[in-house]
Structure 1
């Protein structure tokens, strides 16, 4: 059973439908006490990090996520919230994956980074199985996690940044796998099959 955490900061229907297409039948949850009942969980998110983080804290999700020992993956802003801190609103985050999130240095490129970009696999992992540098995924973001030892795949838009990160049972995808066609479906399937 897979839970989608409803923080009120995401369009969770597109994530739900993506898992429905894979036969996973996810359940949307709004109560942190429900989380422990599920085999794996998704933390989606869009919008401003400080607003989303405040909602997580105000609604009691910090402890539930801290105590969760099964696979949990953040998508887009949800990935950033799993990291140590973000310069978007200058807030501390959930501190599950080491590294800071800062504004993308796009140079002469248009911000936000929006569109299809290739992934570069930095290290083999169950989450990136079957993915190659020819595969593209769909990004929409202005802030990004730095590349470090917990980066499984990187992307580039003005600078190199983390596209997939992982530590222990916590993982994150900066892009939207639910909007990334067959490649996204493969990545979500990898998450469903990931054992920690």
Structure 2
């Protein structure tokens, strides 16, 4: 099995690599179109800012490539947000795989933004979550989120309910960091890699 991690100058790649190492999965870290197209599984990670990340994707034409992929694709954190239509972060047009807009958490007295730390998942609707107990805790770091929508396959709540996981066709996306979410994140990664 050929697993590719998409290179696009977004952080946290090392954590994804370590997670795959723990699972015994070999991988290639690349921004080359042919390598990405020929992969069996594609991971689109991310920590960063939407407009800068989209600028890099456009410079490499990855913004056109990624939506055309036919193999299972998993985006995480900013990777998930860039798979949506638009992000309020610096008014960024994204790839539009999921026809939903990413919104900033509203300012709320006594509640900090970004949402940072462990929080629970609810309302599972996918085999991606097979073996994951209801209300499982995963690790989040974000100020923006996709609202609950037709693509939502798990929710979380911070200030308001939001999409913790999205799914459309061969595309999956997690707002949380699977790679640093302990056994739960490892289970989700393993389920993705078995698809």
Q: Is the pair's TM-score, using the shorter chain for normalization, greater than 0.5?
A: yes
Is residue 2:161 matched to residue 1:144? no
The 5 Å alignment of 1:1-40 reads: 1-40=2-41
Shift of 1:11: 2.3
Deviation per residue, 1:71-129 (Å, 9 max, x gap): 01111000000011111011111111121100012523111100000000242x12111
Query: Any residues of structure 2 matched to 1:91-106 within 5 Å, and which?
Result: 91-105=92-106
Instruction: Decide which of 100, 110, 126 is 2:112's aligned counterpart.
Output: 110
For the Cα contact (< 8 Å) 2:7–2:29, is it kept in 1? yes
Residue in 1 aligned with 2:190?
Answer: 189
- Please list, as runs of the form range in 1=range in 2, the aligned pairs for 1:175-186 lying within 5 A after superposition: 175-186=176-187
Q: How does 1:26-65 map to 2 (within 5 A)?
A: 26-65=27-66
Task: Classify the secondary structure of the residue corresponding to 1:109.
Answer: coil
Q: What SS is found at the alignment partner of 1:131?
A: coil
- Cα distance in 2 for partners of 1:94, 1:159 equals 25
CA contact (8 A) 2:54 2:63 kept: no
Pairing 1:60-71 to 2, within 5 Å after superposition: 60-71=61-72
Instruction: Provide the aligned C-alpha RMSD in A.
Output: 1.1
Aligned length: 193
Between the aligned partners of 1:122 and 1:100, the Cα distance in structure 2 is 21
Matched-pair contact (CA < 8 Å) for 1:2–1:38: yes
CA distance in 2, matches of 1:23, 1:183: 17
Aligned partners of 1:192, 1:151: CA distance in 2, in Å? 20
TM-score by length of 2: 0.95
Quick one: distance in 1 between partners of 2:35 and 2:48? 25
Is the contact between residue 86 and residue 100 of structure 1 (CA under 8 Å) also seen in structure 2?
A: yes
Partners of 1:152 and 1:126 in 2: CA distance: 10
How far, CA to CA, are the matches of 2:142 and 2:27 in structure 1? 25
Pairing of 1:161-172 with structure 2 (within 5 A): 161-172=162-173
CA–CA separation in structure 2 for the residues paired with 1:63 and 1:102: 23
- Taking structure 1 as the reference length, the TM-score comes to 0.95
